[in-house]
Amino acid sequence: MSRFAALLGPGPGQPPLARRIEADLARRTGQVPRHWESEGIQLWQAGAWVARSFGPLTLAGDLALTDLPELRAALAADPGTDPVGLVLAAWRRWGPGALDRLCGGFAFALWDARTRRLTAVRDRFGIQPLAYAAAPGRVVVAGDLSTVLAGLDAPPETDRAWVAGFLSGQPLDAVRTAWRGVLRLPPGHLMVVEPDGTVTLRPWYRLERSAPPKVQDAAPALRAALAHATNQACADGPTATMLSGGLDSSTLSLLSVGPDAPGPQPRPALSLRYRDPAMDEGRHIEDVLRQSRGGLVPVSLPGETAADELFDLDAQLDWQDQPVFAPGLAGTRRLYRAVREQGCLAVLNGHGGDEVIGGTPRDIALIAGSGQWPLALALAARQARFTGESVTQTLAALLAVRGRRGFGRLGRWMLADSGPAPQEWRALVDPDLARETRLVERVRAGAQADPGDRDLPQGLRLHAAMMTGPLAPAAFELLGRAAQADGVAPRYPFYDHRVVELCVWQPELAKVAGGRPRALLREAMRGVLPESVRLRRDKTDFIADFWTTLRQDPQGRLAAFRAGPGPLQGWVDAGVLRADAARLARSPDPDPAVAFRLWRALWLAAWIERGPARAFTAPPPLPASCAPCPILASDR
């Protein structure tokens, strides 16, 4: 775990900014950051890595690189060369072309004394966070929002469009944050700050233009790619694995103890277990443990979340910096703490497996859109039977989306009164705020494909857009900040770029082969997963536990919404908020839409009540308990 910051422009005459930045980095890492300064540029590094100079280049960053032996070989570097040294050597040799040779997660700032340019880089999918703010005469770059805020003179205004997107559950882009002018560098992008302060962003990676080598059979190729990604994720040291009993976590857990897996074994497998049999995944977890033949050691934790833990939003905001939507975050934090208790510093996380693998009704709809209606209808019926959903409703949905003329009307008639109103997604947003921020128009625009990609198949464009849209990096950021609080590094093998590229470029028919959702992974894991898991038809729904805990409302925050919006006045539709709070109070039956709207409202209210960002309070002395960060090193 490492954090860094770069401040370009103000020079040594701004000691309050430097003290605030140092204090925030120390708070987040538990280490006193080391400081490097040249004319017009300051860099800080705290945590696991050593900021370093190599000739005219100086780098500070957060590196979770994989495939290091291959990179060392390409550079003819010594076997002991660490990731910082490798990135510097690669940039010295190949310039920005070095980025194509980096695998894993990374975010860094690189100062070139020859050109007096600062370059900031973020990995392909935004696994490592990177934010910045640019003002006349100053640019501040850091991994965390609070560190960027610490480098500003005053708290920025709230970004009203970001709030509208948050309340609607439709983030508008991968750039905005809750503060106007404090921005995130999009995944797969680099930013160059010229000597005159001009800031330029450009993509260095585009999934839509990264076709993998063609393979005759995707299943063995996917199995090999995932096994390699999993082994690389475990290569840095003791690594635990999350095991929920689902397809994704079970895949990673068993691959991590496969014949080519790095030691030591056995590997701790952490699971949340529930008293309610309807939510407990014990049967599938036990099947995976047996399949591992002792390679996985079970570590069971209580799955139920106490109300005090769920509603402790202020403590969570200390790390998240802005409102987030993550109802299961408390359970994830329990898993992270258990990782440390097991003596591990990293953990395998199956997050994103659904999105990477694909194989959804959308793929069947694309098959129908290509004119293959008999095949699409047959696949839709088989998928409905596999998942236990209504065949009639599934076929009606397909007709409604893809049917022409009378068939489309027939499908929509069959679906009447069977789902939410079309505008329900924005129901919580104050109507004036929605109009002011052009919420509907922005969401529609965000769904449009890049005109330069019109030559690509529609299925490829849609799958790639989902993988590179704003939801993925936002999830990585909130999970990473929660892990940072417990000193743990999450690893995401499904987001190895070779795994992603292989899956995204598969045809729709391969993704839904036999009418099975996520067919690519199911076939690839034949012989690895127990059949009870490989052919699972269901996914456990945890909304009942979340709803029950919400109803406890230990601080009375939700009850207060029945009287009025309070700090949310002007942000939310007061009538919708009042009705949702009343629905929660009177009914024990879960309503997911109501629960999620209330959870977003709670987070936003807690953030507003918190007042100015803590980064602008007087910086405390750096903790005496903080260990000093290693000094900046120099290579010739």
- pLDDT of 218-276, one tens digit each? 999 999 999 999 999 999 899 999 999 999 999 999 999 998 888 767 999 999 999 99
Tell me which residue of 229, 301, 295 sits closest to 272, measured CA to CA: 301
pLDDT of residue 10: 61
Tell me which residue of 484, 75, 542 sits closest to 304, measured CA to CA: 542
pLDDT of residue 403: 56
Distance CA 26, CA 228 (A): 35
The torsion angles phi and psi of 551, rounded to 5 degrees, stand at -65, -20
Question: Which residues in the chain land under pLDDT 70?
Answer: 1, 10-14, 49-50, 264, 401-423, 612-636
pLDDT of residue 16: 85
Strand runs labelled E in 492-579: none
DSSP 14: -
End-to-end CA distance of the chain: 27
pLDDT of residue 264: 65
Name the pTM for this structure: 0.92
pLDDT of residue 448: 75
What Cα–Cα distance (Å) separates residue 465 from each residue in 170, 442, 472?
A: 14, 16, 10
Half-sphere exposure of 270 (CA within 13 A, CB side): 26
Collect all residues with Cβ–Cβ distance below 8 Å to 438 and sequence separation of at least 6: 161
pLDDT of residue 389: 84
Distance CA 301, CA 320 (A): 24
